Structure 1
Amino acid sequence: MAEISFDADRRGWVLSGESSTYALRLDEDDVPTHVFWGPKLTAAEVRELDTETRPWWDGFNDPDEGIGELAADGGTRYWTPALQVRFGDGTRALEWRYQDHEITGPHLEIRFADRHYPLRVSLHYRLRGDVVERWTELSADTDVEVVRADSATWALPVSDDYRLSHVTGRWAAETQLRRVSAPHGETVFASRRGITGHHANPWVMVDDGTATERHGEVYGVALAWSGSWRLTTTRASTGRLTVSGGFGQDGVTHRVGPGRPLRTPVMAGLYTRGGFGAASRAWHAYVREHVLPHPGELRPVLYNSWEATGFDVTEAGQRALAERAAALGVELFVMDDGWFGARTGDHAGLGDWHVNRERFPDGLKPLVATVHGLGMRFGIWVEPEMVNPDSDLYRAHPDRVLHHPHRRRSELRNQLVLNFARADVAAWAHEWLDRLVGEHGVDFLKWDMNRPFSEAGWPGDDDPDRLWTEHTDAVYALMDRLRADHPGLRIEACAGGGGRLDLGVLARADQVWTSDNTDTLDRLRIQHGFGQLYPARAMSAWVTDNPSFVTARSAPLRFRFHVAMAGVLGVGGDIVHWSDEDLAFAREMIALYRDIRPVVQLGALYRLRPPADDGVTALQYVHEDRVVVFAYRQAAHFNDPARPLRLDGLDPAHRYLDPDSGRTHSGAVLLAHGLPLGLPTGDFSSAVIRLQRKI
């Protein structure tokens, strides 16, 4: 049970999670100082830790540097700052003065003020099992410039070595896992794009270089923010490493003053001692139970029309796809781009969110009624934050986009970015989205965002930098308001694929479009990186046509289904032209997925063999008394003999029934020896194996 206690004698706090402990204290100068983060300790045991401030041993190296709970700039503190302020007279240094604290259940707030200037700082901690959520609030009675305001500084135990795990990528190649030794000095992972970004993701895991999938201590931190962000790891010669993170970027400042407080986004931290696998399972449980809007809800099998129709959208064509999708067992039909304005390509119409009457003479209601009549929910694609210069909206309101008065407005995908920090733009977006959802019975929005910021100016505003955070805040507020007004509405976040993936958007979106790349071999790696932090319950994965439009590679339909079934299954091919044989197989696979869906979407993930250049990769989900194993042979070389696959997470004292073969297996044997896979020979062979624990 999570508990927070206060030690008045030592002016310290102990946050006790289910299997871990986090502790901090005030030093002699009231500076909030890190004490411990790691395996479970009692409050009495924390008191035994050496927390004395050590004197300087020379004029250059402070032995206590790197243990600030929110490393503030100023004085002789030279560590990477998490908080930098500039007062009206030019003073930069912050001097902490403790005010008081409040513990409310699993929430701790510690309040400080500057010793001279009217600036107040509150540090917040909230326990969610073994996850510690942290954020910072700033307020002031006079205007203060905030150069940097991170959510937290995380101090790790002193170690001989540190290794960083993180993901990198680009469009159509997101979430590629990397593990590297932590360099000395500062290493920055960041996005300056106004969105989370394809090239990196706001989380990092740290170990001592010896952790494996099953063994070793792992520390992880993740930021809940969908705009520009920054994580900085700092490794010193003294043998300490910290991670500091928050929203913002170099050169962009915040202003705090009367009526203008600043609250940073949540940054979550997690310690586990069971290797990277245990870390991922703990993160997945946290996201499902405390982040996603409907934690126990199963995501439906969807069909998306984009790859079948592109911009060539007609009512008759969508009806034909819907009828075929319903016959396959699809539960949610999503019409993609091309239904509105003059939208016959990506060059025009974006921003004119009214139904194209040439394509839908009687509006959308007849199509929605057809989809509902077929027993499916209806979804639709929108891109609220963008506008084409060739649109009625832009011609009427060219000032509504991000721009500088004497600079060219850079276009990407023939688009400009609307300034959602403006109240009139946010109100306009809510009006048409509320009407679209309410008047048509829309059940699902695919919310896209297909380009990053550029020329991010706001002419005429006295604080133009605020658009960098307030744009994201406005998107959050709009999603929250739509969901509150339409409780049945569900949302998929998308930004050219996986460009908006983080804990912040997952608090408003039910799932994320993982990548525009549906090539199966690439997806194995993309999904492997995605699953390091985020659960399968949020990972959209489609079966599309051969060849892949990204790689021009073809794979068997069976393999394509099996790869997509490891997440939230969708179909995105031109099913009107599929053969009867392929349609029959698709029905079989969708029925299988609907059977195993609770295990995949709610179960614990075990990565049995990670993706490699060839050979077999495998993963396993366990939920209650059911197990699902996915195995994929990417390429076969030299007639390598098949070997059994050792499973994980089973009860060795029980037996497990394979309902498809009728065989039963000892849990102990599956753990110690393995499961015969029986994969067909050759490349692109795969299997989905169901096991049921016998009681």
Structure 2
Amino acid sequence: MAEIAFDAGTRSWLIRTAATGYALRLTEDDAPSHVYWGPALTPDQLADVLPRTKERWDAFNDPNEGLDELAADGGTRYWTPALQLRFADGTRALEWRYLDHDIDDGMLRVRFRDRHYPLRITLGYRVPAGTDVIERWTELTHDGPDGPIEVIRADSATWVVPVRPDYRISHVTGRWAAESQLLREPVPHGETTFGSRRGITGHHANPWVMLDDGEATERHGEVYSAALAWSGSWRITTTRSSTGRLTVTGGFGQDGVVPRLNPGDTLTTPVFAGLYTDGGFGAASRAWHAYALRHVLPHPDELRPVLYNSWEATGFDVTEAGQRELAKKAAALGVELFVMDDGWFGARDGDHAGLGDWHVNRDKFPGGLEPLVGEVHGLGMKFGLWVEPEMVNPDSELYRAHPDWVLHYPQRTRSELRRQLVLNFARPDVAGWAFDSLDALVGEYGIDFLKWDMNRPFSEAGWPDDGDQDRLWVEHTRAVYGIMDRLRAAHPGLRIEACSGGGGRIDFGVMARTDQVWTSDNTDSLDRLVIQHGYGQVYPARAMSAWVTDDPNFVTHRSTPLRFRFHVAMAGVLGIGGDIVEWPEEDLAYAREQIALYKEIRPVVQHGRLHRLLPPDTDGVSALQYVAADGERAVVFVFRQAAHFHTHERPVRLDGLAPSARYRDDDTGQVWHGAALLAHGLFPGLPDGDFASVVIRLTKL
């Protein structure tokens, strides 16, 4: 349990986690100001850190800029604002007045109000048990009788990074089928904003950053990181000044979208969590993974099943007989969850029609889904379905009945992507219809798993019948969360995978309501090494769906060995996505063998500690290692992507082992000293040629 203490004399709060400390205080004019973030300090030690307000040295610069706990628009500070409001009379500046605070069960709430206008502000802090993560959020309440307050920007938190000689930022970038590509680069001076204006988390960036002084490595160095738990439009802004200060502010929303607070309304922002670690990027990642497993994922102790998905085998050409044949083949391989993808509902013979009509296509399934679901359950597997509840085809029963249910403006074209329009889940009637449709589907057929897809961003994001149309950007995402929450409550056995054209909706907000996420539509194993490397900087393998698909790959048309494809996918939540009816018997036999191996190592992969030994490159060797939580077992994956020039095999140094212990290779029986594996490493024994791979299982003696 975190310790949170208030010192009335200095009007400061100190939050102490197991290994870190965080402090804030009130200035003379009641504004919340940042004090400290870093290694743990006692209250007495903090006294040496508490700053004094600095006097101005000119008329252009406030020496206290960049130290605000939540940088607000107003006064003579011109730092990037985290909070911008416009009151009913047009006034924009905020002036703080401290009210009170409370400390309860690892949570701190500090309450303020504006000195004149009817606005209350609460800054929230919480340390989940057993972590060094500090969750922060903001609540805004209109507590007056008159006029709306426009919310121009309401970030969840401003994180102030200690002054260092230089700064480097780590983040991911990408696009569809090329998500989560890790970049590490100097932090530019001025303001740099990462974000999504698409209504979803997005393929092009992801809402987290890591900051260091430019000297951190995988194993060494201080890293300051922050991750936003939000699945809609978002922005994270770094601000670096010529004085050496650096802040990170982030939250939901986007420029130009200005929702309103009406009298009595409260707006609660999503969590923007921060984490300080001293142990390099690897320690930061392992801390985020532990946080996700203990405090984010709904069923953290579960092992995710090996699944089969029918998409590559059938496309839209779905029939009951075809699905039965695939199910029998999948069960014989050892698959535990059979998922029927697109094409089972409405007039769904292609992407042009049927979305929104969530009733079984009786031409394809004359008896409904009961016979197929019964067959799958009888084969010892659970049954899952692909759905895309937020979308509708103009060629559908739903759209013809309710054309007003989509995002639109009265005098603007309704842009289509993938022949789809976006339903407005901010409308209670639309959200109610979506829940009722999915609830009936899951309940009637005994569905165990939903692959919840979302295949296009917002456009023409209007709501003509509502006086505050901009609120739909937040309320749509909240409605998605609410439907997932209600479905899970009504059907405790239901499990959900989040998908958005691949990895377009991956964040801690959606992970709190789903059991796994679809990492990318690109299943090419070479590309997946890069995608999974970026994903794993913050998010855990326990939620990372990874499939073995047909050769050549349908996205890249690259050919790779079945062994390589399996080993890459086995570093996450293993799935099979190929047309297994057409696989030769030797491939089926190998698949059975590898699925059995995965089930044996799955507890270590899904619940162990990740150590990135060698990062993936376009050629050369990469390696990663998982160590069980109790330290008794380890699994090492080694990959050779390509070999341009012949070189002798080099040892791979391991990590996370006990130097004084000995470890046995479960396949060869060879025994090594932990100290030797850490200091020198082991020769992995990669097969010759490109796209070679090996899985090494170690047991502590």
Amino acid paired to 1:62: D
Q: How does 1:467-486 map to 2 (within 5 A)?
A: 467-486=472-491
Higher mean C-alpha displacement, 676-685 vs 337-346: 676-685
* 2:340 aligned residue (308, 312, 335): 335
C-alpha separation between the residues in 1 aligned to 2:272 and 2:464? 32
* 1:218 aligned residue (215, 223, 229): 223
Aligned-pair CA distance for 1:257: 2.5
Amino acid paired to 1:615: G
Write out per-residue CA displacement over residues 645-665 of structure 1, whole angstroms, 9 at most, x where no aligned residue.
Answer: 100000011100111101111
Aligned-pair CA distance for 1:95: 0.3
Is the counterpart of residue 411 in structure 1 residue 416 in structure 2? Answer: yes
Q: How does 1:35-46 map to 2 (within 5 A)?
A: 35-46=35-46
C-alpha separation between the residues in 1 aligned to 2:526 and 2:645? 20
Partner of 1:524: 529
C-alpha separation between the residues in 2 aligned to 1:133 and 1:254? 24
Aligned-pair CA distance for 1:428: 0.5
C-alpha separation between the residues in 1 aligned to 2:608 and 2:465? 52
* 2:238 aligned residue (233, 240, 262): 233
Is the counterpart of residue 356 in structure 1 residue 400 in structure 2? Answer: no
Aligned-pair CA distance for 1:258: 2.1
Is the counterpart of residue 543 in structure 1 residue 545 in structure 2? Answer: no
Aligned-pair CA distance for 1:533: 0.3
Amino acid paired to 2:454: M
C-alpha separation between the residues in 2 aligned to 1:392 and 1:146? 38
Is the counterpart of residue 115 in structure 1 residue 128 in structure 2? Answer: no
* SS across alignment from 1:21: strand
* 1:678 aligned residue (668, 685, 699): 685
Partner of 1:662: 669
Partner of 2:59: 59
* SS across alignment from 1:634: strand
* SS across alignment from 1:517: coil
* 1:628 aligned residue (631, 635, 648): 635
Is the counterpart of residue 513 in structure 1 residue 518 in structure 2? Answer: yes
Aligned-pair CA distance for 1:146: 1.1
Conservation of the 8 A alpha-carbon contact between 1:63 and 1:238: no
C-alpha separation between the residues in 1 aligned to 2:49 and 2:659? 39
Amino acid paired to 1:639: H
C-alpha separation between the residues in 2 aligned to 1:109 and 1:580? 62
Partner of 1:321: 326
Aligned-pair CA distance for 1:675: 1.1
Aligned-pair CA distance for 1:62: 1.1
Write out per-residue CA displacement over residues 557-603 of structure 1, whole angstroms, 9 at most, x where no aligned residue.
Answer: 00000000000000000001111100000000000000000000000
* 2:263 aligned residue (258, 261, 266): 258
* SS across alignment from 2:642: coil
Aligned-pair CA distance for 1:254: 2.1
Conservation of the 8 A alpha-carbon contact between 2:259 and 2:469: no
TM-score by length of 1: 0.99
Aligned-pair CA distance for 1:615: 1.0
Aligned-pair CA distance for 1:260: 1.7
Aligned-pair CA distance for 1:637: 2.5
Conservation of the 8 A alpha-carbon contact between 1:155 and 1:241: yes
* SS across alignment from 2:188: coil
* SS across alignment from 1:226: coil
Amino acid paired to 2:674: G
C-alpha separation between the residues in 2 aligned to 1:337 and 1:166? 33
Aligned-pair CA distance for 1:530: 0.2
Is the counterpart of residue 133 in structure 1 residue 135 in structure 2? Answer: yes
C-alpha separation between the residues in 1 aligned to 2:498 and 2:645? 43
* SS across alignment from 2:134: strand
Write out per-residue CA displacement over residues 319-353 of structure 1, whole angstroms, 9 at most, x where no aligned residue.
Answer: 00000000000000000000000000000011111
Aligned-pair CA distance for 1:669: 0.5
Amino acid paired to 1:37: W
Write out per-residue CA displacement over residues 8-53 of structure 1, whole angstroms, 9 at most, x where no aligned residue.
Answer: 1110100001100000000101000000000111111111114110
* 2:458 aligned residue (453, 462, 487): 453
C-alpha separation between the residues in 1 aligned to 2:257 and 2:600? 50
Provide the identity percentage: 74
Conservation of the 8 A alpha-carbon contact between 2:431 and 2:483: yes
* 1:383 aligned residue (376, 388, 395): 388
Conservation of the 8 A alpha-carbon contact between 1:308 and 1:574: yes
Aligned-pair CA distance for 1:392: 0.7
Q: How does 1:277-288 map to 2 (within 5 A)?
A: 277-288=282-293
Partner of 1:272: 277
Conservation of the 8 A alpha-carbon contact between 1:3 and 1:105: no
* 2:180 aligned residue (175, 182, 187): 175
Amino acid paired to 1:648: D
TM-score by length of 2: 0.99
* 1:638 aligned residue (645, 661, 680): 645
Partner of 1:345: 350
Aligned-pair CA distance for 1:638: 1.9
Aligned-pair CA distance for 1:613: 1.5
Q: Which aligned segments of 4 or more residues in structure 1 are displaced greater than 6 angstroms? A: none
RMSD between superposed Cα atoms in Å: 0.6
Aligned-pair CA distance for 1:232: 0.2
C-alpha separation between the residues in 1 aligned to 2:7 and 2:488? 42
Is the counterpart of residue 563 in structure 1 residue 565 in structure 2? Answer: no
Partner of 1:104: 104
Is the counterpart of residue 504 in structure 1 residue 519 in structure 2? Answer: no
C-alpha separation between the residues in 2 aligned to 1:683 and 1:522? 14
* SS across alignment from 1:131: coil
Structure 2, unaligned stretches of length 5 or more? Answer: none
Partner of 1:7: 7
Partner of 1:81: 81
* 1:575 aligned residue (573, 576, 580): 580
Aligned-pair CA distance for 1:63: 1.1
